[in-house]
Amino acid sequence: MTKKEKVAFVVETLERLYPNPPIPLDHKDPYTLLIAVLLSAQSTDARVNTITPKLFALADNPYDMIKFSVAEIREIIKPVGLSPMKSKGIYGLSKMLVEQYNGVVPASFEALESFPAVGHKTASVVMSQAFGVPAFPVDTHIHRLMYRWGLSNGKSVVQTERDAKRLFDKVLWNTLHLQIIYYAREYSPARGWDVTKDIIFNTIGRKSLKQKKS
């Protein structure tokens, strides 16, 4: 198969399996999504979704959030891990939103990436899922699968994002990155990977990879 044919196969397969992929992090607006994505770093969406209801019941907007101390925020979010850094980030970005943006999350990569604890991936998720701006956030799942499928060299998430944006039509990005995540969790996990069930890998994948059954 040519690379163009491989890309078409990926898109067709994912569209068939996940025609309407939901956003995995529970939220109600750009602010709560931003906080949820920040919390998801080196954690799972499921774990974050168990913590955010308690946090948002106390503060679901930046004005209420800065009424709490970093220590108080940290106590609530401890179960998701990296709570010292994340609590400082939540307080810091909330303060910036109040002081510089009238409490409104800006629809700007540059502005989002200027907030504490917010990197390019987090900004990309918010721009994509909250504002509908074409973006291709690359997490560990997407990075792993783009390499397994032979569509990127696996050397860095920066390169993987560049390759994904080059190979897939821009109009697909916002849905496709979610579809890949759901596929990775179900058919191509990092551990316990059963290659016999991995439809896409068996059709277009790097055959040099060691094939392991769970």
Domain endpoint, select from 104, 129, 154: 129
What's the CA gap between 103 and 133, in Å, rounded? 20
Could you tell me if residue 212 is inside a domain? no
Please report, for the domain that includes residue 79, its CATH number: 1.10.340.30
Q: Is 139 a catalytic residue?
A: yes
Per-residue tokens: 14: 């994912």
**pLDDT, one tens digit for every residue, the chain (214 residues):** 899 999 999 999 999 999 999 999 999 999 999 999 999 999 999 999 999 999 999 999 999 999 999 999 999 999 999 999 999 999 999 999 999 999 999 999 999 999 999 999 999 999 999 999 999 999 999 999 999 999 999 899 999 999 999 999 999 999 999 999 999 999 999 999 999 999 999 999 977 565 544 3
Total domains present in the chain: 2
Amino acid code (one letter) for 11? V
Residue of 6, 86, 139, 198 marked catalytic: 139
CATH of the domain at 142: 1.10.1670.10
Domain that holds residue 191: 3-21+136-204
Q: Among 188, 148, 202, which residue's Cα sits nearest to residue 1?
A: 202
* Structural contact between residues 183 and 200, judged by C-beta atoms closer than 8 angstroms: yes
Q: Are residues 191 and 163 in the same domain?
A: yes
Q: What's the rounded Cα separation, in Å, for the pair 132 and 23?
A: 12
Whether residue 189 lies inside any domain: the answer is yes
Q: Is residue 146 located within the same domain as residue 186?
A: yes
The pair of structure tokens assigned to 213 is: 């059954």
- The verdict on 44 and 17 lying in the same domain is no
Return phi, psi of residue 165, to 5°: -65, -30
How would DSSP label each residue in 4-72? HHHHHHHHHHHHHH-SSPPPSS--SSHHHHHHHHHHTTTS-HHHHHHHHHHHHHH-SSHHHHTTS-HHH
Residues 110 and 93 in one domain: yes
Please state the pTM of the whole predicted model: 0.91
Q: Given the residues 6, 86, 121, 163, select the one marked as catalytic.
A: 121
212 is catalytic: no
